[in-house]
Amino acid sequence: MYYASLTGIGCESIPHPPLGDSPVPSIEIGDKAPSFQATLQDGSTFDSTSLLGRKSLVLFFYPKDNTPVCTQQACAFRDAYAQFVNADVEVVGVSSDSTESHQRFAAKHSLPFPIISDSRGALRRLFGVPRALGIFPGRVTYVIDKEGVVRMAYNATLAAEPHVRKALEAVAAAATDRPR
C-alpha cells in the first residue's frame, strides 16, 4: 500500500481522461488505494489506514462547497448516509475549500459525514482526479473496501446523483466479493 503525507506531494502534471462517465486511469479498480492523512473540517486528522480491516470507504471529490451540483451531490450522500453506515462504510467528502467553508457547508445542509480540506490539491493528485475542461476540479467518487482495494472509480463532472447510486451498487457488490 502506498503512503503519502499531503504536504510531501509534488505538483507533477497528470494526464486527464476525456469528460464523461469513464473511470479515472490513475487509480484503477482492483488497485490498492493510496494511504493518506488529511485535515477535516473540525481541524482533526483523518487517517485512511485507521479503516483498514474495519470499514470500507466512499471518498467523493467535488469541486466547491455551496455550488448547485456539489450541494446536490453532498445532500444525496447525506440522504443515503444510513445505507452506507448500515453497510460498515465511512463516507468522506473532499474539496479544496477551507475547513471554515466546510464547517458552514456541513452545518447549512446537515451533512453527517466528514469533509477533507484539500486546499493544495495534494489528495486530488494522489488519486489522479482529473480537472474538468482542464481547469475546474473534477468530481470523482471512489469505493475502497476494508482491505484497501478500489472497488469503484466513477467520474462524472456534471452529474450528482449517479455518484451515490453507483457507490451503493459497488458497496453491495463488495459485500458479495464481486469487483465492480
Catalytic residues: 70
User: Which helix (H) or strand (E) element contains residue 162?
Assistant: helix 161-175
d(CA 137, CA 89): 25
Nearest to 98 by CA among 34, 42, 157: 42
Q: Measured between alpha carbons, how far is 97 from 85 in angstroms, rounded to an integer?
A: 25
Burial (CB count <10 Å: 0-12, 13-18, 19+), residue 23: middle
25 secondary structure, DSSP code: S
CB 127 within 8 A of CB 24: yes
The answer to whether 155 touches 139, Cβ cutoff 8 Å, is yes
